[in-house]
Structure 1
Amino acid sequence: MGSTQYDIVIVGAGIAGSALAHALSTIRPSSAPPLKIALLERSLAEPDRIVGELLQPGGVHALRALGLEWTLEDIGAIPVHGYCVVREGQAVRIPYPGANEGRSFHHGRFVMQLRRAALAARGVEVVEATVNDLVECEATGHVIGARATRKGAGHSENFLADIIFAADGSTSKFRKALGKNLSSPSVKSHFVGAVLEGTGLLPISQHGTVVLVPGSGPVLMYQIEENDTRILIDIKSPLPRDLQTYIKEKVVPFLPSTCQIPVLNAMQKQRLRSMPNAFLPAVMQGQPSLDGKSGLILLGDAWNMRHPLTGGGMTVALSDVVELTRLLTPVLSIIPTPDTPSPLADWSRLVLILHEWHWSRKPLAAMVNILSVALYDLFGGDDHNLRVLQQGCFKYFELGGDCVTGPVSLLSGLAPRPLLLMYHFFRVAFYSIWVLFTHPRPSPAFPHSDSDIKKNVRMITPSVGDYPALFIESICVFWTACVVFGPLLWSEIRWW
């Protein structure tokens, strides 16, 4: 079994791994010896996934900071200027502030561009190999490398380094190495995806579209090429046995009319693909109390996941790379000599950097994580209180002005301010209560459900006599908002 020594080994050449390899290679000036970096990837063929195709403006800014904005070129990427939310046939436009815009594209093409950047980076060796295990120091258990088998080889070899980054995705085999008794990803639903053919399918061109479907999860649509539109249908676990029938009966009737026939056509031509929508809060890495492996750092979905409804995953991953590179620059800029060890070998120093990284990334990462799950709970809510909050949220957007600019600045990763998120979330909660008291609702003779509203049943405006019951109902609605927001906030402010 052969061994090769590097400064850094990165496992996984996806979004986070490829961007990190490029970013770390630029730290040392051209006059100094480059960092020797190994980027290991099981398959260098173009990936084929149904998510990771919508990059928010905050992610575009992160790419620009890394000098990688060119990776969005020549892949058929579509500019995205904001969102459109559709409820009961009504649409509200939520534009990005100013001249900011995102991009949507085929995931695999974007990944291949990032890999090209890594291949061209100074000191980076991209290796197509399957990582089988970590290599640990027998005396201390410190991770000193990765054991991998190159494609076509009949034997494994050791890729040794002072520090190992694991960016091997949502099904990471190294997550448990962070420590004992850590939470596993929680899965509430799955996205079922297909590609719709044709143009002009969306209610508002070049806007991500979220359709709120009564009795089911939300539907997300966006263009990924001129004639291709991605549709992601959220279906709560467990998945029904007959997906096509479920979608035809429960989802298609609530989609914009321009999309209904293309969806039916896509189901006949394509195999419906699904992926779990997982939530995994980030833990502070390098803490002795967790009894985790030293020498290993997790990145991307291997470490932190959120619901993909808001398209914030790549923005968080790329921003993490920007912040981590900034913090590692003083260490990696030091050129080791025969008389001085590599600065990366000082794990105690890296632990301090990991601690700072954990909290410095929080304003953006926590905000995106909380918003993604909170919006999903509201948009996919199937009990009465959540439907009240959903209606209040939609009507809040209809107010325009700051009621749109504030939330979309958060969603797009342009305003990393968790307190602003809290402000707008509870404004929505209180506005939902206001809507309860002031807006028409179905007559008590009919069940209070979205399907009945769609049938145009008789609507009545609450009278003073209804106020006592509405007051009790408003307390329940506000409590539900707290139950949605509170645990998510706690998952972000704790470190374990």
Structure 2
Amino acid sequence: MDMAFTHVSVWTLLAFVLTWTVFYFTNRKNKGTKLAETVVEERKDGATDVIIVGAGVGGSALAYALAKDGRRVHVIERDMREPERMMGEYMQPGGRLMLSKLGLEDCLEGIDAQIATGMTLYKDGKETNASYPVENNNFLYEPSARSFYNGRFVQRLRQKASSLPNVRLEEGTVKSLIEDKGVIKGVTYKNSAGEETTALAPLTVVCDGCYSNLRRSLNDNNAEVRSYQVGYIIKNCQLEEPDKVNLIMSKPSFTMLYHVGSTDVRCVFELFPDNVPSISKGDMATFVRNTIAPQVPSKLRKILLKGIDEGANIKAVPTKSMSATLSEKKGVFVLGDAFNMRHPAIASGMMVVLSDVLILRGLLQPLRNLGDANKVSEVIKSFYDIRKPMSATVNTLGNAFSQVLTASTDEAKEAMRQGCYDYLSSGGFRTSGMLALLGGMNPRPISLIYHLCAITLFSIGHLLSPFPSPTGIWHSLRLFGLSMQMLVPHLKAEGVTQMLFPVNAASYRKSYMAATAL
């Protein structure tokens, strides 16, 4: 009796478990089918896949890239007029490569963009030419840069993105993000008619620049103002070497002149917060005449003063630095200057954001449903590591180069400045290696560390020449400490593994810089 009851109980239990299992997996399959059908149905109804806040270089490029993959994209831009910016006027060779991989290379056409093959560096009456390496550089693209009016380039990108039927480009001011239990569902914004409305999508990308009003609600990192870039345009003139950026190691910091059009030249110089003359009162124009102009080589001085004499519109904008951090909130991503900034002296901001767009697009392509916040979060975390070879190289180089270009009465700092000039003047592997790093042609943090160490040794050699002295040895030790101060914070911020492990850089080059991806 007991044995029969036991058998019946066991078989009843097995039947129940089997029935429940069949029911569970059948129901799960039906739910998955319904979810897929719902996603398809939403797409048929025109629902948005991605909201992008900001239609600058990064926002417009991302909109185009995602739309080419079949996503429905809603871009909300505060001002659709042509921007008037002093930054973002120079596209490094690496940036042009990224632009080509995104199918946007024709946006450099029809805007009077000028070819740039390198720079001419001036210091204490001497000059040297440093060009992007053409031979044996392992860079599978034309190694030249482009300089142009930023606004013209941005408008071409916007036109390219809006030419796709699944991109909606709208003028409006985003007020806030819509959040539900730590997941961003969309945005609240005021449209061009002044009406406050909402836009919903499974993924929101904040790409509204260095003055982002949304960043504070997502990240706790703050932008640090280090200096001011002061500049103006000189009309109807031409430099002797129009294909070179002229970089003068002046005081208190650098001065640059380069073409942004066939007959338009940009003059820009750096000042620090405690020494910014008034533009409105005319003090800045006087400062240019009396302080900047005498330090500029005679062949460039006439052009620099021409702009002042003709009453060029002088602008001053803060240079900001901000390390990249990820938001803990889901369903949202921050990109461009709202995400990561470095000193603009090396003109690589657009190159980094285009690299980021290329990486993000590739990671999102396999995801059928962007509404899976957990999977999207995994993608964003992967993105943060994959971008490191390019971003870490550029961030570290921008910080180091800006510090080296700053004039100082400190003997150790001035020796570093001289060592940098001597290194770039020496030619061969040293010059080509540094220009490859500057141009984004070799995004390898370990290569950058090598060159920074070599410049440090050049600088120490200057201090100890012709014979070592106690003072020279002391300043050499201080100089070594200065070079460590340039490098160590970035090792900490970017990650020691990402900076020193060469496999990461090799993987980046194979995935995003190989000819097969063109």
- The C-alpha deviation readout for 1:386-419, integer Å capped at 9, x for no partner, is 1100101111111100110111110000101000
Alpha-carbon shift at residue 5 of structure 1 (Å): 4.3
- The C-alpha deviation readout for 1:22-41, integer Å capped at 9, x for no partner, is 0001123xxxxxx2210111
Alpha-carbon shift at residue 190 of structure 1 (Å): 0.5
Tell me whether 1:479 sits opposite 2:505 in the alignment: no
Match of 1:146 among 176, 184, 187: 187
1:361 corresponds to which residue? 387
Alpha-carbon shift at residue 136 of structure 1 (Å): 2.0
Partner Cα separation in structure 1 for residue 397 and residue 197 of structure 2:
43
Partner Cα separation in structure 2 for residue 247 and residue 367 of structure 1:
33
1:422-461 aligned at under 5 Å gives the runs 422-438=449-465
Partner Cα separation in structure 2 for residue 158 and residue 315 of structure 1:
32
Partner Cα separation in structure 1 for residue 148 and residue 361 of structure 2:
26
Tell me whether 1:192 sits opposite 2:230 in the alignment: yes
- The C-alpha deviation readout for 1:100-131, integer Å capped at 9, x for no partner, is 11100011000000001111124110111111
Partner Cα separation in structure 2 for residue 200 and residue 39 of structure 1:
38
2:494 corresponds to which residue? 492
Letter in 1 for 2:200: L
Partner Cα separation in structure 2 for residue 469 and residue 261 of structure 1:
41
Letter in 1 for 2:457: F
Which runs of no fewer than 5 residues in structure 1 stay unpaired?
29-34, 288-292, 335-342, 439-461
SS of residue matched to 1:225: coil
Alpha-carbon shift at residue 267 of structure 1 (Å): 2.4
Match of 1:163 among 203, 209, 221: 203
1:237 corresponds to which residue? 273
1:24 corresponds to which residue? 66
Partner Cα separation in structure 1 for residue 308 and residue 185 of structure 2:
48
Is the CA contact (8 Å cut-off) linking 1:26 and 1:122 kept in structure 2?
Answer: no
Alpha-carbon shift at residue 345 of structure 1 (Å): 1.4
Is the CA contact (8 Å cut-off) linking 1:280 and 1:306 kept in structure 2?
Answer: yes
1:1-80 aligned at under 5 Å gives the runs 5-28=47-70, 35-80=71-116
Is the CA contact (8 Å cut-off) linking 1:286 and 1:354 kept in structure 2?
Answer: no
1:442 corresponds to which residue? none
TM-score w.r.t. structure 1 length? 0.85
Letter in 2 for 1:477: L
1:469 corresponds to which residue? 471
Match of 1:279 among 321, 341, 348: 321
Tell me whether 1:178 sits opposite 2:218 in the alignment: yes
Match of 2:145 among 94, 102, 123: 102
1:290 corresponds to which residue? none
Alpha-carbon shift at residue 155 of structure 1 (Å): 1.6
Is the CA contact (8 Å cut-off) linking 1:5 and 1:159 kept in structure 2?
Answer: no
Alpha-carbon shift at residue 295 of structure 1 (Å): 1.8
Match of 1:417 among 444, 461, 475: 444
TM-score w.r.t. structure 2 length? 0.82
2:404 corresponds to which residue? 378
Is the CA contact (8 Å cut-off) linking 1:286 and 1:351 kept in structure 2?
Answer: no
Q: Which has the higher Rg, Structure 1 or Structure 2?
A: 2
SS of residue matched to 2:475: helix
Alpha-carbon shift at residue 230 of structure 1 (Å): 0.8
- The C-alpha deviation readout for 1:40-74, integer Å capped at 9, x for no partner, is 11111111111100000000000000000000000
Partner Cα separation in structure 2 for residue 95 and residue 261 of structure 1:
25
SS of residue matched to 1:262: helix
Is the CA contact (8 Å cut-off) linking 2:238 and 2:265 kept in structure 1?
Answer: no
Tell me whether 1:120 sits opposite 2:163 in the alignment: yes
Partner Cα separation in structure 2 for residue 265 and residue 96 of structure 1:
30
User: Against the structure 1 CA distance between its residues 302 and 325, is the aligned structure 2 distance closer, same or farther, given a 3 Å change threshold?
Assistant: same
Partner Cα separation in structure 2 for residue 491 and residue 240 of structure 1:
34
Alpha-carbon shift at residue 84 of structure 1 (Å): 1.4
Alpha-carbon shift at residue 87 of structure 1 (Å): 0.8
Partner Cα separation in structure 1 for residue 218 and residue 178 of structure 2:
15
Percent identical: 32
Partner Cα separation in structure 1 for residue 253 and residue 272 of structure 2:
7
Partner Cα separation in structure 1 for residue 63 and residue 430 of structure 2:
40
Partner Cα separation in structure 2 for residue 381 and residue 485 of structure 1:
19
1:296 corresponds to which residue? 332
Is the CA contact (8 Å cut-off) linking 2:411 and 2:475 kept in structure 1?
Answer: no
Partner Cα separation in structure 2 for residue 301 and residue 113 of structure 1:
20
Letter in 1 for 2:385: W
Alpha-carbon shift at residue 262 of structure 1 (Å): 2.7
Alpha-carbon shift at residue 14 of structure 1 (Å): 0.3
List 4+ stretches of structure 1 deviating above 3 A.
none
Partner Cα separation in structure 2 for residue 427 and residue 6 of structure 1:
51
SS of residue matched to 2:189: strand
